[in-house]
Structure 1
């Protein structure tokens, strides 16, 4: 079992063997997911944005830039 120490600032250093197993490096993000009270999983959040492509299927209709701008303008004026 690998351990880490929490610093006075609440920071930890992820041990090298854990970083290697998760394929994370400096600047990468990790998530702490609570699986039950008092127990968390550390998950590498290194998925590419490109992996989201196609998640919602094809659009029902295409929207022009002009339509987008009108919708943004209408929403913005309604918020005031």
Structure 2
């Protein structure tokens, strides 16, 4: 586990320590996501991909594309319970 301290500025900004930037492959302009877990743990992850980068990821050669409207499934609702 890597631990390094940094200071929060009056504008709410922090500097990600150089070793962490290098290990995470972060470059100027990269996006970072922050998630606060219920136990108070802060998770910081690089957001290196844009959703459009995932287009075609699930395509299998020779298989016809499935329209989005055909991907919906009717799931039971709570009022359907006995």
TM-score range relative to shorter protein = 0.5 to 0.7
Which structure carries more helix by proportion? Answer: 1
Structure 1 unpaired stretches of 5+ = 62-80
User: Which residue of structure 2 aligns with residue 27 of structure 1?
Assistant: 29
Distance 1:60 1:38, change over 3 A: closer
How many residues get paired? 60
User: Which residue of structure 2 aligns with residue 41 of structure 1?
Assistant: 43
Q: Answer 1 or 2: higher relative contact order, Cα 8 Å, separation at least 6.
A: 1
Structure 2 unpaired stretches of 5+ = 60-64, 69-82
Q: TM-score when scaled to structure 2?
A: 0.60
Superposition RMSD on alpha carbons, in Å? 2.3
Q: TM-score when scaled to structure 1?
A: 0.61
Runs of 4+ in 1 over 6 A off after TM superposition: none
